[in-house]
């Protein structure tokens, strides 16, 4: 069967649109909540990780500590032995799964084949369809990933910074979500007390965190006085 000119044009348009969308940036969006009593007077930010007794041989926690250590290093933190550290850093983390049910429309076409409508050459169904036939409930798994970072003074035990990060999506692995949580939690360190905001980190084509330079969202009232964002993090107040 010979393809007519309108069909060829529609196919070319669809191919161009697909190529355009494949180059779009996808973001991981994380909600961050911070509580702070940070003085900012320390010249050297030395720290050590602290653990509960049952966590001392936890390989999963060791993996997350390395990820958080990389982010702390971008804010002049230097990891040392516990007895030499000014600060102790403790981590909490977790993942929760839920099912989300969405009502989705179902369509049908009463004609045996697609028809072209008058004056609508790029509408393959023309004015005759498809027609909504109703809705059907579809359930999808969704996973919520959590990271908490708590910083205390070793000498006094005083809590000086406590930040939590949470994001949700189809990713079922906490390990793959952790780089986004850590970068979001520590972006623009230190945040003010009681700050709640959203951080967007671009996802690169290989599925890892992007090195794209952050640009705070325009019109954010608090952004003007905040320090520069961590690489790859985009803050939305």
C-alpha torsion 108→114→116→121, nearest 10: 90
Cis peptide before 130 (omega within 30 of 0): yes
Instruction: Point out which residues pair with 209 in neighbouring strands.
Output: 203
Rounded to an integer, what distance in angstroms lies between the CA atom of residue 77 and that of residue 189?
A: 11
User: What's the pLDDT at 221?
Assistant: 35
Averaged pLDDT, 130-158: 88
Determine which helix (DSSP H) or strand (DSSP E) holds 17, and give its type and residue range.
Answer: helix 5-22
pTM over 0.75: no
Is 25-112+122-236 in CATH node 1.10.3290? Answer: no
Average pLDDT over residues 158-179: 95
Q: Which of 4-18, 73-87, 168-182 has the lowest mean pLDDT?
A: 4-18
Peptide bond into 199 cis (omega under 30): no
The pLDDT assigned to 41 comes to 76
Quickly state the pLDDT bin for 122 (edges 50, 70, 90).
low
Q: What is the pLDDT of residue 44?
A: 79
pLDDT digits (tens, 9 = 90+) for 7-20: 444 444 444 334 33
Quick one: average pLDDT of 144-148? 98
Radius of gyration of the chain (CA): 25
- Residue 191 three-state SS: coil
Coil, helix or strand at residue 43 = coil
pLDDT at 120 over 90: no
Domain map (residue ranges) of the chain: 25-112+122-236
């Amino acid at each position: 069967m010979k393809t007519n000119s309108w069909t060829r044009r529609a196919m070319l348009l669809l191919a161009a649109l697909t190529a355009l969308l494949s180059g779009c940036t996808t973001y991981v969006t994380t909600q961050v909540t911070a509580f702070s009593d940070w003085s900012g007077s320390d010249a050297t930010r030395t720290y050590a990780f602290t653990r509960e007794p049952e966590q001392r041989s936890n390989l999963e926690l060791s993996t997350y500590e390395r990820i958080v250590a990389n982010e702390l290093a971008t804010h002049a933190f230097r990891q040392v032995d516990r007895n030499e550290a000014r600060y102790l850093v403790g981590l909490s983390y977790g993942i929760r799964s839920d099912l989300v049910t969405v009502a989705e429309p179902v369509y049908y076409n009463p004609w045996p084949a697609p028809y072209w409508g008058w004056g609508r050459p790029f509408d393959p169904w023309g004015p005759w369809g498809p027609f909504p036939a109703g809705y059907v409930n579809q359930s999808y798994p969704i996973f919520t990933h959590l990271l908490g970072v708590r910083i205390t003074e070793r000498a006094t035990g005083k809590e000086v910074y406590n930040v939590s990060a949470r994001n949700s999506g189809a990713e079922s692995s906490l390990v793959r979500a952790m780089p986004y949580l850590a970068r979001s939690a520590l972006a623009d360190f230190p945040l003010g007390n009681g700050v709640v905001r959203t951080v967007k980190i671009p996802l690169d084509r290989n599925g890892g965190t992007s090195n794209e330079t952050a640009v705070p969202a325009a019109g954010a009232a608090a952004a003007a006085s905040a320090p520069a964002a961590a690489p790859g993090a985009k803050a939305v107040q």
